[in-house]
A = this chain, B = another copy of it.
Amino acid sequence: MAKRVGTDTVLCETLPQILSSAAIVGKKEGEGPLQEHFDLIHEDTTLCEKSWEKAESRLQSEALSRALDKAVLAPADVQVIFAGDLLNQCIGSAFGLRSSNIPFLGQYGACSTMAQTIAMASLFVEGGIARVAAAVTSSHFCSAERQFRFPLEYGGVRAPTSQWTVTGAGAAVVGHGGDESCPYVRAVTVGRIVDLGIKDANNMGAAMAPAACSTISAFLRDTGTQPQDYDLILTGDLGYTGSQLLIDLLKRENIDIHQNHADCGLLIFDREKQDVKAGGSGCGCAGSVFCSYVMHRLCKKELRNILFIATGALMSPTSSQQGESIPGIAHLLNICS
C-alpha cells in the first residue's frame, strides 16, 4: 500500500519493478552518442508508412512489442497500459496501441509523458490495481514540426534556444517478481502546473525549468534528502538553456544539483555535430533515453539511486496564438537498483 510523505510524494512500499524496457528511434537519433543503446534504429523515418503520424504510431507499437518480448510477457498479461504523445488528440498512442487489445488509459503530459506513464504504471502496481502495467510514449520530428511549427518544406531557420523533436518511442513494463537486475520505483512526486509567464515557443526549456525546479524541490523537502544522495538527477528535455535555468533556479533555494544533473535532451544528440541547437525534445526524448541508456545503467548497477524528472509544456499552437504563456509541468520518479 502506497504511503504519502510530505505534501506531494508517494512512497511505493512494495517496490514495483521496471521489468523491461525498449526504445526505438529514427536515423538522426541513431547517429548520436547513445547509438549502441537503442533496440532499433530506423534508417527510414517514414517506417515505410504513408504518413508521419502513422510512422509515429508504429514507433509505439514496436517499442511495446520489444519491451514485452524482453519481459517474456504477452499483451494479455498486461492489465493496463498508460500512453500518450504530443499529437492532437494523442493519435500516436490510440492508433499505435489499438491492436494491442490491452485496457488503455490515455495520458497527456506533453514531454513529461514517460515519467507520467511509468508513475501511473508503478502506482497501479503498488496499489494492487494491476499486476502488470505498461507505459509508452513517442514523438516524431516530422509530425511535430508540421503540427506545432511549420511544414518541413518551409525550411525555417531555428532559434538558438529551440530544440529538436526526437523521433523515437520508449516503452516500459512494470510489475513485481522480476529478477534482481530490474530496477524498482521507490517514490513518485506528481507535479503541479507552474507558469512563470514565458511566452516564447522557441524556448520550451525555459518554460519548463520552473516546473522541474518546483517538483525536485518538493521531492527533496518531502523526503528530507539532498541532491548528493542521488547518483543522477536526470531531467527530460530541458536542453541546454532550460538545464542552465533549472540549476540557477534551484540554487536560489539552496539546492545544488550541478554535479549530478544530466538531461535527456543533451544526452541523445551531439549538439556540436548534429545541429540540434539547444538539444533534443519531445515525449520520445525522455522516453527513448530512459528506456535504453538509463535503464541499461540501472540494470548493470552503474546507477543505484536516481531521480528521473520529465518535463512538459502544456501549451498548444492555439494557446500561443491567443497570447497565452506556457504552463510547465514535471513529474518525478525515484528509481533504485
Contact = CB atoms under 8 A, between A and B. Distances in A.
Contacts of A80: 190
A108 B91 CA distance: 10
B322 A104 contact: no
Given A91-B319, A94-B314, A131 B190 contact: no
Nearest to A329: B104
A35 interface: no
Interface stretch (A122-130, A170-178, A284-292): A122-130
Interface residues of A, number: 62
Interface string A80-120: 10001011111101110110111111111110000010001
Contacts of A3: 128
Contacts of A265: none
| Identical subunits present | 2
A128 B79 CA distance: 20
Nearest to A106: B108
A285 to B, nearest CB: 17
A320 B104 CA distance: 21
A109 B108 CA distance: 9
A47 B324 CA distance: 17
Nearest to A102: B192
A53 interface: yes
A258 interface: no
A301 interface: no
A315 interface: yes
Nearest to A1: B128
A195 interface: yes
